[in-house]
Amino acid sequence: MKLSKTEEELMSHLSETRSRLYERPARRLSEPKPANTTVATLLKRMADKGFIDHKKYGNSREYFPLVKKKDYFSKHVNGLIKNFFNDSSSQFASFFTKETNLTKAELEDLQAIIANEIKNK
């Protein structure tokens, strides 16, 4: 299951902050900020999809992620590789390195990461 762009933004804020009361993640959304009722609907949908849950404290709710950001991102990158690059990680890596305007230093960092992964296999 996938999150909408605004849901992903909310999820990111919930993952990164300690204070997860309803009002705080809502305030951190990009402009134009959705109405509070819209944010409440988004949070409910995210909970229904199994991405977040909440605890009640009187009239307030503290939301927290049930899915780690890394796990969510990994699933979608792997789906992207499968659907757009014929399930070929090397095709994805080739596209990524050629089409994203990486600097020489960034390419060298990637080369070091790949060399380390080869060494560990």
Domain with CATH 1.10.10.10 in the chain: 5-65
Mind listing the pLDDT tens digit of every residue in the chain (121 residues)? 788 888 888 888 888 766 566 556 666 677 787 788 888 899 999 999 999 998 888 888 888 889 888 888 898 899 999 999 999 999 999 999 999 989 999 999 999 999 999 999 8
In the prediction, which pLDDT does 16 show? 77
Among 17, 12, 5, residue whose Cα is nearest residue 67: 12
At the topology level, CATH places domain 5-65 in: Arc Repressor Mutant, subunit A (1.10.10)
In the prediction, which pLDDT does 107 show? 94
Chain-centre distance for alpha carbon 46? 13
In the prediction, which pLDDT does 23 show? 57
